[in-house]
Amino acid sequence: MDLTAHADEFNADPYPFYEALRAVGPVHRLVLGGERAWLVVGHQEARAALSHPALSKNWLGSELFEVAQVNAVATNMLDSDPPHHTRLRRLVAREFTSRRVESLRPRVQQITDGLLDAMDAVPERRGDLIRAFAVPLPMTLICELLGVPNLDRARFRYWSGEIVAPLDGVGAHPRVLEEMTSYLSGLVAAKAGEPGDDLLSALIRTRDEDGDQLSPDELIGMAFLLLVAGHETTVNLIGNGVRALLDHPEQLAALRADPDGLIDGAVEEMLRYDGPVQHATYRFADADLELGGVPIATGSSVLVALAAADRDPARFTGPGPGPEAFDIRRTGPGHLAFGHGIHYCLGAPLARMEGRIAIRSLLERFPGLAGDPDAGPLDWLPGTLMRGVTRLPLRW
């Protein structure tokens, strides 16, 4: 399949494409932006691919990328394999703890309440939820967590948007990565000279039992990963979650009636039904392997469609709603929205907490929340990495 040839239709609703592919088989040859890769759409095969020892995340030796693109932002744990990945994750996990995440809860609520106050003050009682709420909440939090000055946050939003959903739908311009790398290099140097209470300063200070610590390039790569992954995913968790609730008024009414009992399950269903990350980042075959009965040769590129896997009927064979239904009371098998295996998202607890606070507070503040019928069609994010809309016009 050539997804580039169906870009607009696919961006608006990829699920019929995935359904058609799954009906034929769990693994397919894909053309995307002129590049060829294997696309995994079955749930069982996706879990296998996400943890397969022959599928590497280190793209420096792959044919998909030019070596000229390599810079310090690539030295992060998402783009590395064991034992290097094991070392990086261990050092970061020493500081990015569940205790640190839980300590952020009051601040998440405070930021949320401030943004809702601003929305409440809008005379016309309508606007774009992405700009007014879904972007500034996680952006403010992750920048505060890493100690990024207020004036620099607009630049980060632009850079990260170009990286995860470039306007051409193919790839970020090298200039964007160069600008972000240069900025982060200066930020790391400033924190090293004058440390604070933020996470980046803590990562600079942290040492393993044997004295090991993150290098300057590794700190830049980790700051890049935390800034981009730490807010873009939550933006689209909020946006996609609100869209799903408004499209299913009976589910919205149930959540309003019992927020204490249903908010956790609602956020998990939002992640499964229309999660923020559509495809996991590229993996590369270090050796010949087989997925779903399909032989994949050494050197091949593999994309795991998390969105397709989480709607695979083979995953939902028992009683209860099928995978195409949005049901916040759903029980049973979990989802792959945060990945699987050694690269399972380190920030999952923070994203869940932000999503629960954001969705619940929004619904409690605005009982009349609804779509804006005068706003026209939605504009979808380009590319296949992130799933979401560029704006979400609502009335409140």
Calculate helix-pair angle for 84-93, 216-247, nearest 10 degrees. 70
Q: Are 18 and 25 in contact (CB under 8 A)?
A: no
- Burial bucket for residue 16 (CB in 10 Å: 0-12, 13-18, 19+): exposed
Cα–Cα dist 274/291, whole Å: 24
Cα–Cα dist 14/117, whole Å: 35
pLDDT of residue 169: 46
Q: Is the dihedral of CA 330, 336, 342, 347 positive or negative?
A: negative
Which contiguous run of DSSP H or E holds residue 36?
A: strand 35-40
pLDDT of residue 176: 85
Q: Which two tokens stand for residue 158?
A: 């632009």
DSSP string, 57-78: --GGGSSSS-GGG--GGG-SGG
- pLDDT tens, position by position, for the chain (396 residues)? 887 778 889 999 999 999 999 999 999 998 877 778 999 999 999 999 999 999 999 876 555 554 435 567 777 899 899 999 999 999 999 898 889 999 999 999 999 999 999 999 999 999 999 999 999 999 999 999 989 888 788 888 888 888 886 654 445 567 888 888 899 999 999 999 999 999 999 999 988 778 889 999 999 999 889 888 888 899 999 999 999 999 999 999 999 999 999 999 999 999 999 999 999 999 999 999 999 999 999 999 999 999 999 999 999 877 778 999 999 999 878 899 999 999 999 999 999 999 999 999 999 999 999 999 999 899 999 888 899 999 999 999
User: What is the set of domains in the chain, with CATH numbers?
Assistant: 3-366 (1.10.630.10)
Amino acid at 258: D
Strand partners, 370: 395
Cα–Cα dist 143/198, whole Å: 9
Tokens 């690269």 belong to: 343
pLDDT of residue 73: 74
Tokens 């980042």 belong to: 281
pLDDT of residue 228: 85
Q: Which two tokens stand for residue 367?
A: 């009982």
C-alpha closest to that of 385 among 162, 215, 224: 162
Q: Which long-range contacts (CB under 8 A, 24 or more apart) does 11-18 make?
A: 11/169, 11/380, 11/381, 11/382, 11/383, 12/378, 12/380, 14/278, 14/307, 14/308, 14/384, 14/387, 15/307, 15/308, 15/311, 15/324, 18/305, 18/307, 18/308, 18/311
Strand partners, 387: none
Cα–Cα dist 4/32, whole Å: 5
